[in-house]
Chain A
Amino acid sequence: MVRLRTLKEALRGRLESFSGRMILGMLAVHAALLPLLFGGVIYIVQRGYEAQFVDNVRSQAYVISLALGSDPLGPQAQALLEDLSLSGRVLYAEVVDRRTGEVVAAAPQPGMSHPFREDFFFGQGGDEIYHIALPLSAPDGRPLELHLGYDETPTRQQIALAYRRALYIGLAYIVLTLVLVALVSAQVTRSLDRVRQASRAIASGRFDQSLDLRSHVREVDSLAKDLEDMRRTLVDLAAALEYQALHDPLTGLSNRAHFYDRLHQAIAASRRSGEPFTLLLVDLDRFKEINDTHGHQVGDLLIQQVAARLRHVIRESDLAARLGGDEFALLLLGADKEGGLRIARKVLDQLNAPFFIRGLELRVGASVGLSVYPHHGSDEESLIRCADISMYEAKSSGQGVQVCRMCILPENGPSAASLMGQPERDPAPTV
């Protein structure tokens, strides 16, 4: 019972599909048109056969009546009647006296019984014999009548053959049409399935795979192209949103969220490789003063130029981020303390140089705090806190750059992993 229901549902699903609809539609159209088409053709063919038979019978009977001539009871006439009945098409031939109804000459087939009823249509009388009568006259003037019976069976067989052939052709036509419809609809369905899969992927947020579809069906191709355009727009929008989410709109540098993410990745990578990296926190010294004096627009332009100079100092693989206001961070991958200090000095050189904005020469200066993984912290918070403290120390002392004083790992000591969580003070701060 359950299997039957499942089968029914499967069948219904199949019929409600595109292919099923196409096949049902074609069946409906053919169910309406084929009987008309083949019925009409067969009707014409049958009428043609019947008309040809009647025409042959009437013209041949007329010629026979002429051939019997003025002596239809003579030996030549008798020979002609017998010859006619031998031909097979004429089942009987006889001459009847019209006054008495007596058969005066005949050539019947053996065992042939033929009550005469003249026919005027093919099939009339239902005895499969076309009976026809023609007037004759005996030499003595008696009115006679020639009766002929023609066999309708061969014509009926020809008509039946035409019916069978029409039936076979009709069935072959239907099967061929259904196969072609199934093939064409399957092709279209495949294309639609691909479009459907692509739209589902897009709906679920996976729009990294392009939809390159050629179906030879204009509407499907158009739908696929629209979907591909929509996917590209979504990809661009997603990229723009991602950029906005991870970058500072004023400078184009990474923002705080992106910086934290990259710092987290850098810690993980360094843990695996054992390679150190350096974090620089940069704070502009006189930015508030410039901002208050010359306005926010000049302040914004200054921030943009600072960002450009920072970007110029670091490598492609490093990261420069604006954490907020006039505070920046540089993540120097693979750089140890010396390498970090070298970059920090370059940063100071760049930021101590005058800035030219709207005809103003501005000197801003900066303070830089430096922390190195793993010596000054094993996680984001400790590294940032360490660099932040150093940066404030550098600012308060006016020394420009300050390395973190807190050290959890001697630079030539045991591995960071073995000492993780055991902070140690660095007795020798470096300026």
Chain B
Amino acid sequence: MHEALKQGARGRRRRPGAWRLAVLLALLPAWLLGAAAWAAPGARLVLAAGPHFPEGARLNPQEVRLLFLGGRVTREGLRLQPVLNAADPFLEEVFLQKVLFMSKAHYQRRLVALAFRLGRPRPPVFQDEEALAEHLRRRPGAVSYLWARQARRLGLKVVQELWSDSAP
């Protein structure tokens, strides 16, 4: 089990100040939900898709980054569509750090800039896992990021692993 995953919530509790505590309390439910999802040993961040996603199709890390930053990526004639999973804040941060290499605020600005400058639509955002899974099942080219155990539970196809908690 990666130490950072154990430290996740503990680290933020150290912030002093009453209003910080209030913010922490407000974030706590989402935080606990996230912690419950990745607390299992060997947590893996995966790219998942619906059952109609081309079998055996894989993307390298640069292509995943390009896809979620608004680039055009196709597999077997199918244009891939990124879908943002906002159900778990910690999952989002891991994805941003290990795949996109930027902060959430910067990524949001980047998406807004793409929408305004290039007229590209913002990727759909889902706060609910079930709704996210339903969207992936209906759209053959739609891909998103989840914990591997969540993807299995929701019956989604794991395209590839993006990151795993396998630190020495």
A interface residues, Cβ below 8 angstroms from B: 35, 39, 42-43, 47-48, 51-52, 54-55, 58-59, 61-62, 96-101, 115-121, 123-126, 131-133, 145
Contact = CB atoms under 8 A, between A and B. Distances in A.
A55 B102 contact: yes
A59 B101 contact: yes
Given A48-B105, A123-B15, 18 more contacts: A59-B102, A62-B101, A97-B168, A98-B166, A100-B168, A116-B167, A117-B7, A118-B3, A118-B167, A120-B4, A120-B8, A120-B94, A121-B11, A121-B12, A124-B4, A124-B11, A125-B11, A131-B4
Interface string B93-119: 110110011111110000000000000
A117 B90 CA distance: 15
B11 A123 contact: yes
Interface in B2-18: 2-4, 7-8, 10-12, 14-15
B103 A54 contact: yes
Nearest to A99: B168
A118 B168 contact: no
Contacts of B12: 121, 123-124
B57 interface: no
Nearest to B96: A58
A99 B167 CA distance: 9
A96, A97, A125: residue with the most chain B Cβ atoms closer than 10 Å? A125
A39 B17 CA distance: 11
Q: 5 closest A-B pairs (Cβ-Cβ)?
A: A101-B168, A124-B11, A62-B101, A55-B103, A117-B3
A55 B4 CA distance: 18
B7 A125 contact: yes
Nearest to A65: B101
Contacts of A98: 166-168
A118 B168 CA distance: 12
B23 interface: yes
A302 B102 CA distance: 115
Contacts of A42: 19
13 contacts: A47-B105, A55-B102, A58-B101, A115-B3, A116-B167, A118-B3, A119-B4, A120-B90, A120-B94, A121-B8, A125-B11, A126-B10, A145-B167
B137 to A, nearest CB: 29
Interface string B29-46: 000000000000000000
Nearest to A60: B101
B34 to A, nearest CB: 10
A43 B93 contact: no
Contacts of A59: 101-102, 106
Contacts of B166: 98
Contacts of B105: 47-48, 51-52, 55
Contact of A43 (B19, B94, B103): B19
B127 to A, nearest CB: 20
A405 B167 CA distance: 143
A115 B6 CA distance: 14
B106 A51 contact: yes
Contacts of A52: 103, 105
Contact of B23 (A35, A43, A54, A123): A43
Contacts of B94: 120
B8, B100, B167: residue with the most chain A Cβ atoms closer than 10 Å? B167
Contact of B19 (A39, A47, A117): A39
A47, A120, A125: residue with the most chain B Cβ atoms closer than 10 Å? A120
A39 B7 CA distance: 27
A370 to B, nearest CB: 102
A62 B97 CA distance: 9
Nearest to A47: B105
A48 B103 CA distance: 11
A97, A99, A123: residue with the most chain B Cβ atoms closer than 10 Å? A123
B8 A124 contact: yes
